[in-house]
Amino acid sequence: MRFLSAEQMFPIFETSKTKKMKKTLSLFAVAALLIGTATSCKKKGCTDPNAVNFSTEAKKDDGTCKYAPSITVNGNNPETISVGSAYNDAGATATNTDGSAATVTTSGTVDANTKGTYTLTYTATNDNGTATATRTVNVVIGMDNWLVTWDVTSDCGTSFPLAAAPIFATGTAGTNDLLIDNMFNIVGGTANATVNGSNINIPTQTIDFTFGQVTFSGVGTINDQANTITITYTYDNTTPIIGGSGTCVATYTKQ
């Protein structure tokens, strides 16, 4: 006697099972195909954003990245000097990715004799591109610009008789403290002042004379070349005959 298999006995069942298996195999095949396609289509290129040929579309680095030189600014950045000081630029150095040196050129100037902020630009170029770096140089009015020899002219007259050759000196409070010795004709006297960059402030103070006293204050500035100081004084002189009150302007000129 010959027995029939389940597939022979139930042909409808066989067809359904077979279709299900075929469908499952098809899904695996499609998934494998998609994975393979995605892998094979993964775009190659330079993935380093620091490279000159960086590709935003590249998903896999292919070792083709190219680089401009790398620049290092030597010395202080920013640099600060006083007006009239000698400025010697420390320059910059540049290297390629293989360690070899690249030539650096410098553009921009610094006028060390005039207050201001100056920018120097360093540039280096190789076959892959150009790199730049900058240095800021601040030329400022410093205390050493005040501590020089000055002559003075003014419209102050006899009520506020300024000496023609005052002496500027550092006070005891430090770099912002300034003394103006030999303030007045004949009687001399010392005025206390403070310096803040280009600005001078003379707070209210009194100097005693033999026959009276003068109370005064003042504000002024030094120019960008640090060779002229202009101060406006307000004063009250109680000395008989030559006394009086008012304002006057004094111009101090560097010698």
**Could you list the residue range(s) of the whole structural domain that residue 250 is in?**
143-254
Q: Confirm whether 159 is domain-assigned.
A: yes
| Matching residue, tokens 């070792």 | 63
150 and 248 share a domain? yes
Nearest to 203 by CA among 177, 242, 239, 227: 177
- The region, left, alpha or beta by phi > 0 then psi within -120 to 50, assigned to residue 91 is left
41 and 77 share a domain? no
Q: Give the separation between CA 207 and CA 215, rounded to whole angstroms.
A: 7
The mean of the pLDDT values for the chain is: 87
Q: Confirm whether 223 is domain-assigned.
A: yes
Amino acid at 150: W
Neighbours of 35 (CB within 10 A): 10
Query: Out of 28-42, 58-72, 228-242, which region has the weakest mean confidence (pLDDT)?
Result: 28-42
107 and 125 share a domain? yes
Q: Average pLDDT in the 122-133 region?
A: 96
Q: How many domains does the chain have?
A: 3
pLDDT in tens, 136-180: 999 999 999 999 999 999 999 999 999 999 999 998 766 789 999
Answer with the one of 108, 140, 172 that is the final residue of a domain.
140
DSSP SS3 for 241: coil
Q: Confirm whether 1 is domain-assigned.
A: no
Q: What is the pTM of this model?
A: 0.75
176 and 80 share a domain? no
Neighbours of 113 (CB within 10 A): 14
